Chain A
Amino acid sequence: MKIYGSLYKDVLTINIEGEIDECVSLEARERLEIIIDEHQCRCVVFDLSKITFMDSTGIGIMMGRYKKLKNKRIPTYILNPSPYAEKIFTMTRLFDLMPRIYNKEAV
């Protein structure tokens, strides 16, 4: 699992790659907290194009990030979800909260 972020014109893009499950969940949360706290932004885009596995633990992690960012009035988007991310996001209706986008120009 790899998580890294980059800031460009107030848009924080966070890339999450690999398998997200309960085993890596603590590390994932910690990484995400650090990246989010380190950057001032007006919105966050999660690039999930390289997710190769995600179960409901990953959904819990994303929901937690969504809530914390929402409290700071920062909207979140999901960029190019891989089929693995796409299916579980659709099934849990998380796209209703974190809309899908296909390019960063959309925000």
Chain B
Amino acid sequence: MKEKKENNPQNYMELKIPAQSVNESFARSAVAAFAVQLNPTVEQINDIKTAVSEAVTNCIVHGYEKEGGEIIIKAKIESNALHIDVEDSGKGIDNIEQAMQPFFTTKPEQERSGMGFTVMQAFSDDLKVYNKEEGGLKVSMKKIFNTKNGGKNA
């Protein structure tokens, strides 16, 4: 059986938005729309939207503690993989390993599930989180789309 060869050209996009809750829906839809060229399944699109939503929400709630600021979202397509970077110039994370533990939250009084990073990890194929030298946090996610329209969740 001939394998359908997807020759995806290199493509990228960059989005800069104020860290306002009203932008969460827009941000996830924007990245999802960019990902359409990879022929994702409905489930993969939803995974992307959810992962982006988690990262953007973290910037607003934790990075800037709802006091404004800017979020930069970059997405890049390179050999059937979607790379997404979400970064802010907020307060960063003191203990990243601890922050990434399921159910760990610094704001339990706000009924936060503490599952943001866990969800990002489950819905992407690779997740890297690091404090930026100039301050703030950068979250890098990668989602692989194989030529048979598969990837991790196929």
Contacts and interface: CB of A to CB of B under 8 A. Distances in A.
Interface of A: 19, 21-23, 29, 53-57, 59-61, 63-64, 83-84, 87-88, 91-92
B118 A29 contact: no
A56 B115 contact: yes
Contacts of A61: 111
A22 B46 contact: no
A54 B47 CA distance: 11
Nearest to A29: B111
B115 A92 contact: yes
Contacts, number: 65
Contacts of A59: 113, 115
B122 A91 contact: yes
B25 A21 contact: yes
Contact of B57 (A55, A63, A87, A92): A55
Contacts of B46: 53, 83-84, 87
Interface residues of B, number: 25
Majority secondary structure of chain A interface residues (helix, strand, loop or mixed)? helix
Interface in B5-25: 21-22, 24-25
Interface in B91-137: 110-116, 118-119, 122
Give me the 5 closest cross-chain CB pairs, A-B, nearest first: A60-B113, A23-B21, A64-B111, A56-B115, A59-B113
B123 to A, nearest CB: 8
Given A22-B57, A61-B111, A92 B25 contact: no
